[in-house]
Structure 1
């Protein structure tokens, strides 16, 4: 069987640190054959570094040379490139978030259905072994019916001072759409079939607009900072469950980083990071932790393997387009709720006010 030919569109940090190394480990199945970036000189440097033979001036020129692409561009261009590739008969792995709007997500999903090609979104937290373990527990019904979910994705003074992360036009937002989306996605995946019915959210960027602040991740211009650095949200689901979400790039917390998803059910509860199950049994309160769990320490390789095997028809996608679209739908509603100062309610067909 010939190798699947993969091209990368956008070859910044995430492409070089995560996707290229992962696909290179699958050399029996995959060959990285091409790259494209608007910075042509950087594309040449990366191609030379990783031994990639072809560099294209436009991403469209790449389509005749590849079977699949990985999109690592700013968020604004995800939908445009993905739809063009799918219509050209190319499989797509797109960096998160899926797109800036629920409308664009729907268009991407429809393009995938019409083409019959694979579309997956790189929510790599799902491939962490703790998350995989938590999913097994949830599928087994060990904590019963989920009632309350607490999601925290918090960093202390770590605004990304490189690239376009603080550019609202290109990225659509800040800490929520860049960082909080990962923990939001994995929590929704653990919950399974749940639909939001009402969302209220608040976004802040006061701290990052303050002059003379401390930031651990490079420099940025506070006067031009126009994205969120701190977001809170409360989500009610159709099955009666609720979620409390907090995410931040830049917060005055004691810890350097707080990352966790905690789910309380009617029979028990679980914490994802570190993984534990919490019960009340035999007249006692019991917390149990795994002494060993299967899985890779890093999620990069499992994510690449799943995408490749799905393209080859060997396994089911772990991150499906409709699931990634739900994440974007909720984030869009949080931003809208903060803008209008009230909750956003849903019907099946979309936002109703």
Structure 2
């Protein structure tokens, strides 16, 4: 069987820590044939490290050497590069969030449909063992009523790259970290249509000089993205979601979790637990063992490759990633307390 030729556009941390190792682990069905980065020197170093034959500073030149690309650039360039790749007849796996805003996402979907090529978005939390178990167990929950979503860090503003650059990223904790757990909760609930979204955004802590931060340093004077966000979302099927995310908040410890209560039962994702009633008892069930990969990047990459080869459906469909961006847009629109 012919291997799928993969190109990586943007060779920063997420490319080297997740995507390149995942594709290399799947070398029986794919091969990384090209890299592109505006920093040509860094691209050449990465290519030499992983024995990748082709390097380009202009990503357009990469398209002739690949069947599919993985886009790992700042958010500002997701839509532009995705559309260019699709128009060149190349499948796309784009890092999350899908784009800066929902309108850009719609343009990406239209380009995918016109080209007849795969467009996947890298919401890798869906591929975690706990998340896969929770999806299977939603039948025990029944009709979802309330979801509680926490994507909280106490003092972990990313002090590297462009994470705090609003022009390049579009936002802070919500668009960077919260989007993962928001996507996961929506997927578990069956992606019901949102009807009202009310949010509040803050960055008071990160504007204070000399703050303790575990993830490097940043300029408090120019910090203009959100470091803490809350939201309440109502859906047309009557369900609701209580959502909170942060890079910096005065809380006891970090939290990354989705908890869903339904008509028949409830579940917690991290750690995976089920809450039910049976035989006149309240029962809490824990998983003694969960099947699946420890590294969610591997099943994510395999699902993308299999979709490109026409042997599997995408786990993360672009229309679902669009919904995440639509809700993010509405939270930002309604919640500009400090920004």
**Structure 1 segments (4+ residues) deviating >6 Å:** none
State the partner residue of 1:293: 290
Which SS does the other structure have where 2:142 is aligned?
A: coil
Please state how far the C-alpha of 1:28 moved relative to its aligned partner: 1.3
Unaligned runs of 5+ in 2: none
Alpha-carbon distance, 1:321 to partner: 0.4
Match of 1:182 among 180, 183, 202: 180
Does residue 305 in structure 1 map to residue 263 in structure 2?
no
Give the superposition deviation at 1:29: 1.1
TM-score for the superposition, normalised by structure 2: 0.98
Question: How far does residue 261 in structure 1 lie from its aligned partner after superposition?
Answer: 0.3
CA distance in 1, matches of 2:191, 2:209: 45
Aligned to 2:264: 267
TM-fit CA distance, 1:340: 8.6
Instruction: Name the residue aligned to 1:24.
Output: 24
Is 1:127 matched up with 2:124?
Answer: no
CA displacement, residues 231-273 of structure 1 (integer Å, 9 cap, x when unaligned): 0000000000000000001111111x21110000111100000
Structure 1 residue 193: Cα displacement: 3.9
In structure 1, list runs of 5 or more residues that go unmatched: 342-353
Q: Distance in 2 between matches of 1:340 and 1:12?
A: 32
Report the counterpart of residue 85 of structure 1 in structure 2: 85
Other-structure match for 1:51: 51
2:101 alignment counterpart: 101
Q: CA RMSD in A?
A: 1.1
Question: In 2, Cα distance between the equivalents of 1:327 and 1:44?
Answer: 35
SS of 2:233's partner is strand
- For residue 237 of structure 1, the aligned residue among 220, 235, 238 is 235
Any idea what SS the aligned residue of 1:218 has?
coil
SS of the equivalent of 1:111 reads helix
Give per-residue Cα distances to partners, 1:97-156, cap 9 Å, x unaligned.
Answer: 001111111110111111111000000000001000000111xx2112111100000011
- Give me the whole-angstrom Cα distance separating, in 1, the residues matched to 2:314 and 2:263: 30
Q: 2:39 touches 2:57 (CA, 8 Å); kept in 1?
A: no
Q: Which residue of 2 aligns with 1:39?
A: 39
Q: Distance in 2 between matches of 1:228 and 1:281?
A: 44
The answer to whether the aligner puts 1:216 opposite 2:195 as a matched pair is: no
Once the two structures are TM-superposed, the CA of residue 283 in structure 1 deviates from its matched residue by 2.3
SS in 1 for 2:18: helix
